[in-house]
Amino acid sequence: MTNDDMMIHDLAVLKARLAADAQRDGVLDIAYRVVDSPVGQLLLAATEQGIVRVAYAREDHDAVLQTLADKISPRILNAPGRLDAVARELDEYFAGARREFDLPLDWRLSAGFRSTVLHHLPEIGYGQTASYAAVARLAGNPKAVRAVGTACATNPLPVVVPCHRVVRSDGAMGGYLGGADAKRLLLDLEAAA
């Protein structure tokens, strides 16, 4: 083992110990990690209540972490072990072995009608799509089509809460937080199953 390898190993051990100590001492409010996926790197963040944020690289992970610090708590630490279950379920999803997520979710970053919309999105079955208008009806406000679009565009839990399954009434994909390529990949992945 080279000196550089030993330093990298020692740093990893130190980070793991710091994360464990922070968790034990109750000073870790948000754990995060970054995982590779077919749609690029995803930032995963969780509180004690559950996963609170999934962020695409195009959202700027540093800015996302700053927003979490501002809105929830500045006690954030890269503690990958606490997100092992989330990473495993995402891997299973991208491998086509998982159709729905079985994770505790922390919904605190969405409120009001946006939260109502997001809570209804898992009702759109795997491999299916629904129009913004149909989701507005599901959420109890048929005229709130644009508000559904806003809720999807600000979804703090993309992929896990499937806003990618919401499309325009004419069948066109519409916008997506992760970009058009990511939305197409997710829809194609689910359609192939």
The catalytic residues are 163
**Does residue 126 share a domain with residue 67?**
no
44-70 pLDDT per residue, tens:
999 999 999 999 999 999 999 999 999
91-104 pLDDT per residue, tens:
999 999 999 999 99
Enclosing domain of residue 152: 112-192
102-111 pLDDT per residue, tens:
999 999 999 9
* pLDDT bracket for residue 20 (50, 70, 90): low
* pLDDT bracket for residue 18 (50, 70, 90): low
**Does residue 135 share a domain with residue 160?**
yes
75 within some domain? yes
Name the nearest CA neighbour of 90 among 103, 77, 104, 79.
103
101 within some domain? no
**Does residue 116 share a domain with residue 90?**
no
User: What's the pLDDT at 7?
Assistant: 63
CA distance 179 to 15: 33
135 within some domain? yes
The yes-or-no verdict on residue 11 having pLDDT over 70 is no
Q: What is the pTM of this model?
A: 0.85
CA distance 44 to 53: 6
User: What's the pLDDT at 192?
Assistant: 87
**Does residue 81 share a domain with residue 33?**
yes
22-38 pLDDT per residue, tens:
555 555 899 999 999 99
Mean pLDDT of 112-125: 96
H/E stretch holding 38: none
Question: How many domains is the chain partitioned into structurally?
Answer: 2
**Does residue 186 share a domain with residue 143?**
yes
**Does residue 63 share a domain with residue 13?**
yes
Residue 150 belongs to a domain with what CATH number? 1.10.10.10
**Does residue 128 share a domain with residue 48?**
no
Extract the tokens encoding 5.
Answer: 């390898």
Cα angle vertex 108, ends 104, 111, to 5°? 120
**Does residue 139 share a domain with residue 181?**
yes
User: What's the pLDDT at 173?
Assistant: 87
163 within some domain? yes
